[in-house]
Amino acid sequence: MAELVYNQQGRLLFTEEMKQEYTLLMPQMLPVHFTMLKRVFEMQGFQVDMLTTTHRAIVDEGLKYVHNDTCYPALLVIGQLIDAVKSGKYDPHKVALLITQTGGGCRASNYIHLLRKALKRAGYDYIPVISVNLSGLEKNPGFRLDLKMVLKMAYSMIYGDILVNVANQCRPYELMEGETDRRIEKWVNRLVEDFPQRGAFKRNHVIDNFNAIVDDFASIPLHRTNKPRVGVVGEIYIKYAPLGNNNLEDFLRGEGCEPVVPGIMDFIIFKCDNRVEDHRIYGGKTATYIGASFLKKYCEGLQRDMIAAIARHPEFRPPCTFAHLKSLVKDYLGYGNKMGEGWLLTGEMLELIDSGTVNIVCTQPFGCLPNHVVGKGMVRRIKEKHPQSNIVCVDYDPGATRINQENRIKLMLSNAKLAQKKQAAHTVPAVQTGDGELSVPISGAGPAQTDTVQGAV
């Protein structure tokens, strides 16, 4: 069995020897993107298990080992990892835990310390914890991120974004149930197998892949009907993770809506932009400024190529560019506002409204001060300027019942559906199509907010 090795500060390391014997347990945040990440780690020779559990015991484990003042995503992620270790499925002496560290000023940088503390209290202090970060925060001899691996991880994010974007626009209307998910699986396999090939990250090759993905999803047989579009924004974990938001996207689809979820590329570019803005506002190292500016430009170029590929098919709505999103926030918040999701959260709400998706669920975890400022705290101002917006802020915490959360969302949806009916009846003439059916354009727009929903915010 692999020997336990500690560094000078007493941190248990993940060694080369452990790489041969151990299973890495990783939490899931974005189902498609993280499936690709898992495959990337496996290609590097790691045994990986991505945790997709959602049962109540996860919250209870979190409450047992994490201080109850800690923000809810930390409680969930740590509870899920400890629950998996205790499940009996793994030999606790042969697992290591993977957790991300953002390196920013928010608590997400410190989850790793909370996790180690929780493991110690639970009697598992012999389990190594591996930090996945690009800031050089913690290093392990058995888990090194070289340039090739970073590229594969980065491209998993952009490919994940394009897959999720077009899939979300197909799934609610598909004629053959499960066809969208089958295409996602096919593309995830194909793209990950493509990563080690020569030229896999050359621009022309990536553009070809983008175009092929969109063409493939455009060929899914659909019956497009006039469903209300609902945007999902909020703290990054709660917004994306089915465990965090109680399967919000499935719930919205079940209610007859099309969920619209902003991609993660905006968050990655936002992180680079933060460094550039820091330099503008406070000064600092020129090398950091140059590096961040280069990375930002590179990611923005990729995002533009993705948008161009989606825009080739008029039935799909591409996301806007990061530059446009940033410009929308100008009259609302300063660009130095970067804790949590910072100004990006406000920007995502504004971008959704700007692109016609006026119904929005803003997911807010317990204990998340920064996102209450840039999320819930900005709703009144957004509504003043965009009276047609229909926003509901939903709290997620260990004591909140799913039924309560869903009832609040249903209240918002009833207004969305009413608004859509009125719009269809009064402002948009129905069009007789060639096959004799009546059709109205798909839109998320609606009339001014009613008192009922304002009360719900």
Q: What minimum distance in Å lies between the beta carbon of 100 and ligand SF4?
A: 11
Q: Looking at 84, 164, 166, 368, which residue binds ligand SF4 (CB under 6 A)?
A: 368
Instruction: Please report how many Cα atoms fall inside a 13 Å half-sphere around the Cα of residue 362, on the Cβ side.
Output: 29
Residue 365 near ligand SF4 by CB under 6 A:
yes
- Contact indicator for 414, 387 with CB cutoff of 8 Å: no
Q: State the Cα–Cα distance between residues 420 and 199, nearest whole angstrom.
A: 47
Q: Copy the structure tokens of residue 395.
A: 């709290």
Residue 107 near ligand SF4 by CB under 6 A:
yes
CB under 6 A: which stretch of 100-108, 131-139, 173-181, 296-304 binds ligand SF4? 100-108
Residue 370 near ligand SF4 by CB under 6 A:
yes
CB under 6 A: which stretch of 101-109, 187-195, 225-233, 408-416 binds ligand SF4? 101-109
Q: What minimum distance in Å lies between the beta carbon of 337 and ligand SF4?
A: 13
Distance of CA 228 to the CA centre of its chain: 21
Q: What minimum distance in Å lies between the beta carbon of 111 and ligand SF4?
A: 7
Ranges within 58-77 binding ligand SF4 (CB under 6 A): 71, 73
In the shown chain, the binding pattern of residues 371 to 390 toward ligand SF4, with x for contact by CB under 6 A and - for none, equals x-------------------
Q: Copy the structure tokens of residue 134.
A: 């690009």
CB under 6 A: which stretch of 106-114, 375-383, 400-408, 436-444 binds ligand SF4? 106-114
Residue 239 near ligand SF4 by CB under 6 A:
no
β-partners of residue 438 are 432
Q: State the Cα–Cα distance between residues 280 and 410, nearest whole angstrom.
A: 44
CB under 6 A: which stretch of 44-52, 146-154, 159-167, 365-373 binds ligand SF4? 365-373
Q: What minimum distance in Å lies between the beta carbon of 363 and ligand SF4?
A: 10
Name which of 440, 382, 453 is nearest 413 in CA terms: 453
Q: How far is CA 150 from CA 23, 146, 296, 421, in A?
A: 21, 6, 15, 48
Residue 342 near ligand SF4 by CB under 6 A:
no
H/E run at residue 157: helix 147-170
Q: Looking at 66, 78, 99, 106, which residue binds ligand SF4 (CB under 6 A)?
A: 106
Task: Considering the complex, state which of residue 342 and residue 444 has its C-beta at the smaller distance from ligand SF4.
Answer: 342
Residue 235 near ligand SF4 by CB under 6 A:
yes
- Contact indicator for 375, 357 with CB cutoff of 8 Å: no
Residue 248 near ligand SF4 by CB under 6 A:
no
Which H, E and C letters describe 159-215, residue by residue? HHHHHHHHHHHHHHHECCCCHHHHHHHHHHHHHHHHCCCCCCCCHHHHHHHHHHHHH
Q: Which residues bind ligand SF4 (CB under 6 A)?
A: 71, 73, 106-108, 235, 340, 365, 368, 370-371
